[in-house]
Structure 1
Amino acid sequence: MNSSNDSCENREDLQKYQHFIYAVFYTVILVPGLIGNVLALWVFRAYVKETKKAVIFMINLAMADLLQVLSLPLRIYYYLNNSWPFSHFLCMFCFYLKYVNMYASIYFLACISARRCMLIIRPLRYSATERHLDRGLCVAGWLAVCLGCLPFPLMRQSPAQESDVCFSELLLKPVSAGAVVTLICVAELLGFLLPLSLVFTCSWLTARSLKQKAGVLQDSGEKRKALKMVLSCAGVFLLCFAPYHVTFILDFMVKSKSVTNCTFEDFIRRCHPVTLCLASLNSCLDPVMYYFTTDEFKRRLSRQEVPESLQLHRRFSCAISEEKTTQNEQMECDTAT
């Protein structure tokens, strides 16, 4: 908000509104996002070697969501107290994690859609080679996202020693208009439009496969499950990421003073924080998507599976204890002999 036109909007009132929106949204997201993604990692860890249904991408998606959720308490503290008593590095790191989560989530949602679609269209082609390819795509995705999101914190100035502001309220460094336009185009095209096109293409191909005769390796039920997964990814895209990438451009126009209408400027400044919070909502929606679209997630969290896991753990512990007791008795006998 550093380049705002104060004649259009009282800056203090706008800041109070934005801090209220951020504090409420992040508080609502924190607990469900933390529990859901920890459960997701626990579930998928058990199935990563047993199934080929894009589990490796789901694990990485849950990791990206969990990283952002872990930074939310500091954000909530800042927006409730209007003060950042921590280091500038920690401020920039939390600010950076926000965008890393967003674009990593976009990337892995696209990978999940593509993998589920390929398993339906060409099930025989998935082999150990493709499994290694999936892991390579995960590593490449993390590198690309982490490098691509560096401009977000690097373009912010360090605050004065007496200042306690953080996140987007930090002043922007002087950057040429051409560089800014380039960054926006890259973020919009590569970070959103291209993955969105891939997800919708996979949705169409998977839906079309339902009309074809089921093969030996597949039935219509398996195809419907794949379609449900791909459509869920598309739904998360449209609900969480599409609004932000629309207001992202408009917010830049407002900050660059390209917009002179006060009513429109006020509308954008009030909508942009909401869309930014919606982009964080995927941390809660992704675990819900896992539960309703993957049999492994339901089976692992079912009433039968959890008690059986605990019972097996107890049996294993008892077996180890009995074995140790037997070994100790045998050693005592050998000593006596």
Structure 2
Amino acid sequence: MTNSSSCNETDLKSYYAITYTVILVPGLIGNTLALWVFYGYMKETKRAVIFMINLAIADLSQVLSLPLRIFYYLTGTWEFGKGLCMLCFYLKYVNMYASIYFLVCISVRRYLFLMYPFRSSNCRRICDVYISIIGWVLVCVGCLPFPLLRFKEDGKNTCFVDLPVQELDLPISIMLMTIGELVGFVTPLFIILYCSWKTVLSLKEKNSASHDLGEKKKALKMILTCALVFLICFAPYHISFPLDFFVKTKKIKDDCVQQKLISVFHAVALCLASLNSCVDPVIYYFTTDEFRRRLSRQDLQDSIQLSHLSFARKNSRDVLREDTTEY
């Protein structure tokens, strides 16, 4: 970490390398499998499947950047150019805030489908597509300050946490941190908690039919799971990020022990945020009936047999075409 000159640097590269290595394989398998499942039942349901697809894409994109991060933290040097470094650094935040955005969209979509089923049915899947496109644009634009604040030529082959930080005045720093925290964390958290609270209240209604009660419990389980993942993965990061930023910009520089504690806390929080890419597929499995059904043994065998049959037919057509060409 880049702290003040009077404080020894805290070397956490091995911690990052080990954590990202642990996340890589299950995150890659889980999100690839999730995309396959969502593609299979996309026409069967209207319950936020478009948002789940986008969430899986965001998580998978983050996972695919982990090998470069692991390489850097193992070797301690970046040999792939400044442009690729800044792109990977930028995509880290894009994928994280895209995950936050789509977790909120999933919670709101399930809540609206539950509370206002007839109104929600009027908003077809194309509405979710437009909302997703708008979300990606907003996230990509909103995350631009992250690489801009860290783009500073220092003549060293450094990247990620070792990137230098632009010097900013304290009022500007506080303003940027406040806007980032309110837009990127506090507002999404409030929306998810509101959906959870309203869904809990709907369960207490005495005039609910047994079918409606079951649907409400399923919706509540998904929304609460989104809220739990949100708090575990993203709350620590958004607590530590302003503190770490002030350490890197030398606004906090008098207490060396305090700087080291903030650096370690931020490292743990950063890895918890990356852990989200492994946790989201678990959400899909335990909160979505269609996801579990698609992964059941019979459905899985049917899908594999269908794939083999399609592959065999394609090969037969290719062989027949070759034989016809020879004659």
TM norm. shorter chain > 0.5: yes
* Counterpart for residue 254 of structure 1: 247
> Superposition pairs for residues 84-163 of structure 1, below 5 Å?
84-161=78-155, 163=156
1:184 to 174, 177, 189: 177
Report the residue type matching 1:226 in the other structure.
A
Counterpart of 2:167 in 1: which secondary structure?
coil
* Counterpart for residue 55 of structure 1: 49
Cα distance, 1:42 vs structure 2: 0.6
After superposition, the CA RMSD in angstroms is 2.5
Is 1:22 aligned with 2:20? no
Partners of 2:60 and 2:307 in 1: how far apart? 27
Q: Aligned residue pairs: how many?
A: 323
> Superposition pairs for residues 1-337 of structure 1, below 5 Å?
1-2=1-2, 4-7=3-6, 9-11=7-9, 14=10, 16=11, 18-161=12-155, 163-212=156-205, 213-215=207-209, 218-255=211-248, 256-258=250-252, 260-315=254-309
Cα distance, 1:312 vs structure 2: 3.2
TM-superposition CA deviations, 1:18-65 (whole Å, max 9, x none): 112211110110000000000111111122222111110000000000
Q: Please tell me whether the aligned partners of residues 259 and 265 of structure 1 are also in contact (alpha carbons under 8 angstroms).
A: yes
Cα distance, 1:99 vs structure 2: 0.5
Partners of 1:257 and 1:52 in 2: how far apart? 49
The alignment's TM-score, normalised by the length of structure 2, stands at 0.91
Q: Please tell me whether the aligned partners of residues 65 and 105 of structure 1 are also in contact (alpha carbons under 8 angstroms).
A: yes
Q: Please tell me whether the aligned partners of residues 159 and 165 of structure 1 are also in contact (alpha carbons under 8 angstroms).
A: no
Partners of 2:122 and 2:57 in 1: how far apart? 23
Counterpart of 1:44 in 2: which secondary structure?
helix
Identity across the alignment (%) = 54
Report the residue type matching 2:107 in the other structure.
S
Report the residue type matching 1:230 in the other structure.
I
Cα distance, 1:252 vs structure 2: 2.4
Partners of 1:198 and 1:57 in 2: how far apart? 16
Q: Please tell me whether the aligned partners of residues 233 and 273 of structure 2 are also in contact (alpha carbons under 8 angstroms).
A: yes
| Structure 1 unaligned regions, length at least 5 | 332-337
Partners of 2:159 and 2:68 in 1: how far apart? 11
- CA separation of 1:95 and 1:315: change in aligned 2, threshold 3 A: closer
- CA separation of 1:278 and 1:151: change in aligned 2, threshold 3 A: same
Q: Please tell me whether the aligned partners of residues 26 and 277 of structure 1 are also in contact (alpha carbons under 8 angstroms).
A: yes
Q: Please tell me whether the aligned partners of residues 67 and 101 of structure 1 are also in contact (alpha carbons under 8 angstroms).
A: yes
Report the residue type matching 2:184 in the other structure.
G
- CA separation of 1:94 and 1:323: change in aligned 2, threshold 3 A: closer
TM-superposition CA deviations, 1:221-270 (whole Å, max 9, x none): 22111111001100111100000111112222323333523332221111
Worse-superposed segment, 261-270 or 297-306: 261-270
Q: Please tell me whether the aligned partners of residues 54 and 116 of structure 1 are also in contact (alpha carbons under 8 angstroms).
A: yes
TM-superposition CA deviations, 1:130-157 (whole Å, max 9, x none): 4322111101110000011111111123
Q: Considering only CA atoms, is the larger Rg found in Structure 1 or Structure 2?
A: 1
Partners of 2:26 and 2:246 in 1: how far apart? 35
Counterpart of 1:10 in 2: which secondary structure?
coil
Worse-superposed segment, 247-256 or 235-244: 247-256
Cα distance, 1:174 vs structure 2: 3.4
Counterpart of 1:50 in 2: which secondary structure?
coil
- CA separation of 1:152 and 1:320: change in aligned 2, threshold 3 A: closer
| Structure 2 unaligned regions, length at least 5 | none
